Amino acid sequence: MSFSISKQGDVVVVDVDGQLIVGIRQELKQKVLDELERGGKKFLIDFSQTGYIDSSGLGVLVSLSKKIREQGGELRLANLNDDLQTLFELTKLDTLFQISDTRERALESF
């Protein structure tokens, strides 16, 4: 499990490589909060390499979404596989997040 952070224009792109579950969620949170502190406003988290997310991972995404909004920023999610899409629909988190099929569409949506 790892995260990589890159910039595409003024968008901070976080690639999640592996499952976003209880043992790893704090690392993602801290990396995004560090970028937020550095002045990042637009965030995209790409889940193309993620199979599943547990409740603590979903909780971290909710928390980050709030913190980014509080700073006047925006968060987008992209590349959820069918299982992840089902998970977001089941928890109704698809109503809380802007989710795009592809990274390109997510970048265009800012």
With binding defined as CB under 8 A, does residue 91 bind other proteins?
yes
Pick from 5, 27, 31, 59 the residue near other proteins by CB under 8 A. 59
| Closer residue to other proteins in complex, CB, 69/105 | 69
- Cα 83 from Cα 70, distance rounded (Å): 30
With binding defined as CB under 8 A, does residue 66 bind other proteins?
yes
Number of residues that bind other proteins (CB under 8 A): 28
With binding defined as CB under 8 A, does residue 83 bind other proteins?
yes
Pick from 3, 8, 52, 74 the residue near other proteins by CB under 8 A. 52
* Helical spans, DSSP H, in the chain: 25-37, 55-70, 82-90, 103-108
| CA 108 and chain centroid, separation | 16
Q: Tokens 């988290």, residue?
A: 45
- Cα 110 from Cα 103, distance rounded (Å): 12
| Closer residue to other proteins in complex, CB, 18/39 | 18
Fill in the DSSP letter of residue 91: T
Token duo for residue 59:
């909780």
Contact set with other proteins (CB under 8 A): 1, 18-19, 21-23, 51-56, 58-60, 62-63, 66, 82-83, 86-87, 90-93, 95-96
